[in-house]
Amino acid sequence: MSALRARIERFYNELETLDQRFPETTDSDVCDYLHETLTHYFVWKQSLAKLPQVYGMFSAAGDRAMCKVVNAFLTEACALADEAGLEAGQARLDVLQDESIETEGGENYDLFLGHSDEPLELEPLEAFRFELGEYDEEEVSGDDEDEDYDHKARRMSRDAD
């Protein structure tokens, strides 16, 4: 379980880093989409074969960056939760909402996901979430910034290990 806890902590740190580049990361719509995604795939153990591309970020670059963080987390955390024998449902929600897990900035899950006493019901995610669409903002970053973010995320991953 300590490996899963460490992965969750790293995930929240990655979201905190993402928030520095894309402040909408902690907007309520983004948090709701993130919560729905984690509930669907991590809490209810649904197949990772098709993952969302839209999280309500203001730009395609923001959604792409969020996808990288979330997809990597789901791939690793679902495997770790299975290895730990965590059942689908409340047990997995509880581990995501562990108040003792804090980011380097002192934040916890609530800033990024909100709180839920019980898991959301298992429902299909909305179809528009699986294909990048139109955005209110123009592209605000290029490949250099994506590479810089990837480098920071890899460094955080190594530091956590």
| Token code pair at residue 48 | 């990772």
For the ranges 53-57, 59-63, 144-148, which has the lowest average pLDDT?
A: 144-148
Taking the model in full, what pTM does it have? 0.85
Q: Is the pLDDT of residue 148 over 90?
A: no
Q: Is the pLDDT of residue 91 over 70?
A: yes
149 Cβ contact partners less than 8 Å away, ≥ 6 residues apart: 17, 18, 21, 65
For the ranges 18-27, 33-42, 64-73, 152-161, which has the lowest average pLDDT?
A: 152-161
For the ranges 8-12, 59-63, 152-156, which has the lowest average pLDDT?
A: 152-156
Closest CA to 34 of 59, 69, 81, 77: 69
**So what's the pLDDT on residue 65?**
98
**So what's the pLDDT on residue 159?**
52
**So what's the pLDDT on residue 139?**
55
